[in-house]
Amino acid sequence: MRIRISSAKIVIFAYFIGIILAGSLLLKLPVSWKGAAPLRYVDALFTATSAVCVTGLITVNTAQYSRFGQAIIILLIQTGGLGIITFATIYLAAPRKRISLVNRSIIKDYYIEEVEYLPKEMIRHILTMTLAIEGLGALLLFIRFRRLPGGAFVAVFHAVSAFCNAGFSTFPDSLEGYVGDPIVNFSIMGLILLGGIGFIVMKDVALCLRGRKRWLSYHSRMALGMSAVLVVGAALAFLAFEHGRALSHLAPAEKAMAALFQAVTPRTAGFDTVPQRTFSTPSVLVTVILMFIGASPGSTGGGVKTTTFLVVLLAAFRGADDRDKLKVGTRSIPASAIIKAVGVLGKGLAIVVAGLVLLLLAESERPGASLGLTPALFEVVSAFGTVGLSLGITGSLGDASKAVLIATMFAGRVGLFAMSLPLSARRLERYADLPSTDVLIG
């Protein structure tokens, strides 16, 4: 049974590595590039990894790719953005038109009760919701982009990139030219939030709106509640910190809209309407925290996830009861979920720390290079959380540093998921167990 679980991890790694390598080769083709200097393979590989991992970090501007190259990028984004669980489910279900007990439990661990009974139906819902939402978003964006060359393509590109929380843009300065445009701002924010809330939550809300359910599931309420707190709280913080700084050149309504956009985009999209390098240190810190937390489970976004962070917070400040359960309102969260949340958070921190150390080491070995702790931390957390925001240093990094970020993006998107796979095959009935022991904590 252990071999089967290991095989599932190998399949997931191989699938995404294969897509990344194929995408990098396609982007390296002359027809994909229109820049003045030839595209180096490390930059093509970086772009492909960033697209498949729906990150948005770039070492070369996306506007330098031809329409063919940009089409390849959007296909890579869509492939990664539909969700690692969806593609793993399709692969595992396809060979025999069914899902094994081991793989069913792996999928169920990320899609709650619906997948236990209707995994293929869930895939159909995911694909349908994705295409419908992206199509509506493209129509809204086309209102503003219709006069641009290739306006329809530009609208579709940004709709897919926003819903998949990728943050790639065909504009050289992302969406900074549309900082005061409500159609672009609210369309992009809506797509980011829908893509980052999770398919299971969207389906749950849809069932309630259609009258097929009376109440949202507790998971949906936690995900929506935590997302609302993070967005509103961060928007108020950005407005307070940057009212007379980064946002000082904007009208009052534009300031509020820009602050709200800055609160939404780290969840984990990577677009910006105000250059990140113009924000003060407190705003940079808030952005780093938002990028690390990320989106909700079962979504197109990255990070350690909203419900994970909430469970760890509740466990830290409330503690478990005498039955090792965490009481939340009228429900209780079992110890297994608390342990898993702490594990995901710990693994996320380990990836960030390792990436930060390696990035600083790589840049310290480059002659004439100078990289501060704050921009390095921002870059690594952005890569881990598959966000794509940057303080403007990505393109100036050395090849070794780019390799570190490629590994961090892959670890944040695919590696963290693989490490979080439930070890259901080891949950066999045991007639004996190891003796317990006491360990002092804190």
Is the N-terminal amide bond of 47 cis, ω within 30° of 0?
Answer: no
Greatest mean pLDDT among 1-10, 105-114, 316-325, 358-367 lies in 358-367
Distance between CA atoms of residues 421 and 298, nearest Å? 13
147's tokens: 């006069």
CA 310 remoteness from chain centre: 17
Higher local confidence (pLDDT), 438 or 233: 233
Amino acid at 371: L
Distance between CA atoms of residues 387 and 413, nearest Å? 10
Cα–Cα nearest to 86, from 54, 49, 55, 127: 127
Distance between CA atoms of residues 332 and 351, nearest Å? 30
Note the residue count of the chain: 442
- Which residues have C-beta within 8 Å of that of residue 291, sequence separation ≥ 6? 266, 268, 303, 381, 382, 384, 385, 387, 389
Q: What is the pLDDT of residue 120?
A: 67
**Which phi and psi (to 5°) does residue 434 adopt?**
-70, 150
Question: Buried (b) or exposed (e) across 130-151, using 16+ Cβ within 10 A?
Answer: beebbebbbebbbebbeeeeee
The answer to whether 308 touches 345, Cβ cutoff 8 Å, is yes
Give the Cβ contact number of residue 119 at 10 Å: 21
What's the whole-model pTM score?
A: 0.90
Q: What is the pLDDT of residue 329?
A: 73
Q: What is the pLDDT of residue 215?
A: 87
Helices (H), 164-214: 182-197, 199-209
425's tokens: 């095959």
- pLDDT category at 86 given cuts 50, 70, 90 is low
Tell me how far CA of residue 273 lies from CA of 108, 124, 185, in angstroms: 38, 34, 8
Q: Within 13 Å, how many C-alpha atoms sit on residue 199's CB side?
A: 28
Q: Average pLDDT, whole number, for the chain?
A: 86
> Residues 136-143: what's their mean pLDDT?
98
> Residues 274-295: what's their mean pLDDT?
96
- pLDDT category at 67 given cuts 50, 70, 90 is very high
Is the N-terminal amide bond of 268 cis, ω within 30° of 0?
Answer: yes
Greatest mean pLDDT among 95-109, 306-320, 354-368, 426-440 lies in 354-368
- Which residues have C-beta within 8 Å of that of residue 64, sequence separation ≥ 6? 33, 34, 35
The answer to whether 402 touches 366, Cβ cutoff 8 Å, is no
